[in-house]
Amino acid sequence: MSEVGAPVVVGLELQERMVSLVRAFGLHRPDETPCGQPVSVAEAHALMELSREEPLLQKDLASRLRLEKSTVSRLVRVLEGRGWVGRTRSPHDGRAVELRLTEAGRRTAAGLAEARREKFARVLEAIPEEERAPVLRALGVLEEAMNEGG
Amino acid sequence: MSEVGAPVVVGLELQERMVSLVRAFGLHRPDETPCGQPVSVAEAHALMELSREEPLLQKDLASRLRLEKSTVSRLVRVLEGRGWVGRTRSPHDGRAVELRLTEAGRRTAAGLAEARREKFARVLEAIPEEERAPVLRALGVLEEAMNEGG
DNA sequence: ACTAAATAGTTGTGCCTTCGAACTAGTAGG
DNA sequence: CCTACTAGTTCGAAGGCACAACTATTTAGT
């Protein structure tokens, strides 16, 4: 920053934009996904993480979702109840629980991914072509900054 | 992206980035308010909107926050109870209610803005200087696209 | 080994958020 | 004047999330 005041001013913009972005996204309503599926946002994210890596320890799921372990405990219980994930004690650590997607869970996750993809494809189409790559880049930069400085 | 399939692929990236962004931001936790004041997020957002434009009709506050009118009704009642906003019937429309910040409300809003500014300034400092403007631009573009294409 | 500190999960509690439906009141058009 | 629409209010209920307290397991320190 070359000036003292500049980051402050821009900081104001940043937060306001983030706020409206989140609300525009429908994330202030965590009990349903913005993609219209009958799954809560947290559940959808959990399935997404499990699709990415499996098995996953419950504590790792918690840190990826940035949720309290108690919250994750309940979340996982729900997912198990729906038949989407299975739980097994870790062979390496008797305290830990390994999570795995069931077949049904995998199907659900795939469906969610599909719905998300469609939604975002629509969003992307609303972005001028030459802006798309910059926008994606910017999001990456922002996330990295948030992990460091936030 | 001159190919047909490209937007879909990029769409996948976009959604994953959004998800991690939101969680990295702590926006999945609605009751977090880094400021010393006992203010909830929804209240903070309302104060923010009122700081931006005043007076504001209650229905307009609702559409800006993307909340149901009933939700906003309650929210406003709380804010009024804390002495932060005043309500008057609109002179032009006997049904509508005009919202205005009180002096105390203005002070609170200023305090909140300050706290947010500090938090976001740290994030911004973690962004390379030449990236800051593009990032902000990108957020704006993205929100607009979400309003149209979402 | 044996105890103390740390770690993974579970459950109890309480706060906060939001929505939808039903109802009142003011407005606008024919 | 009657009807349809719009702004708000109130009621009820579904959920999400965190913190604290408690159990079971693992890891360190002596």
Spell out the domain ranges in chain A. 1-30, 31-149
Integer CA distances (angstroms), A72 to A76, B27, B132, in order: 6, 17, 35
> pLDDT tens-digit profile of A60-83?
999 999 999 999 999 999 999 999
Contact B139 A21 (CB under 8 A): yes
Q: Which two tokens stand for residue A27?
A: 């994330």
Q: What is residue B9's predicted lDDT score, i.e. its pLDDT? A: 46
Band (pLDDT 50/70/90 cuts) for residue B26 is confident
- Tell me the three state secondary structure of residue A38: coil
CA distance A77 to A87: 9
Residues of B whose CB is below 8 A from A140: 17
CA atom of A91 to C1′ atom of D20, Å = 29
Q: How far apart are the first and last CA of chain B?
A: 21
CA distance B17 to A144: 11
Q: Which residue is nearest to nucleotide C12 (CA to C1')?
A: A70
Which of A37-46, B32-41, B49-58 has the weakest average pLDDT?
Answer: B32-41
B91 touches strand D (CB under 7 A): no
Which of A40-44, B58-62, B120-124 has the weakest average pLDDT?
Answer: B120-124
Residues facing residue B100 across a β-bridge: B86
User: Residue B14's closest CA among A52, A113, A30?
Assistant: A113
Band (pLDDT 50/70/90 cuts) for residue B2 is very low
Band (pLDDT 50/70/90 cuts) for residue A34 is confident
Q: Which residue is nearest to nucleotide D24 (CA to C1')?
A: A95
Q: Which two tokens stand for residue A3?
A: 């000036």
- Tell me the three state secondary structure of residue B98: strand
Contact A141 B125 (CB under 8 A): no
Residues of B whose CB is below 8 A from A8: 117, 121
Residues of A whose CB is below 8 A from B14: 120, 123-124, 135-136, 139
Q: What is the mean pLDDT of residues B64-82?
A: 95
Q: What is residue B122's predicted lDDT score, i.e. its pLDDT? A: 80
Dihedral sign from CA coordinates of A9, B23, A28, A73: negative
Contact A8 B143 (CB under 8 A): no
The CATH fold assigned to B31-149 is Arc Repressor Mutant, subunit A (1.10.10)
Which residue did the predictor score with more confidence, A126 or B33? A126
Residue A144 has pLDDT above 50, yes or no: yes
Q: What is residue B148's predicted lDDT score, i.e. its pLDDT? A: 76
What pTM was estimated for this model as a whole?
0.84
CA atom of A69 to C1′ atom of D21, Å = 14
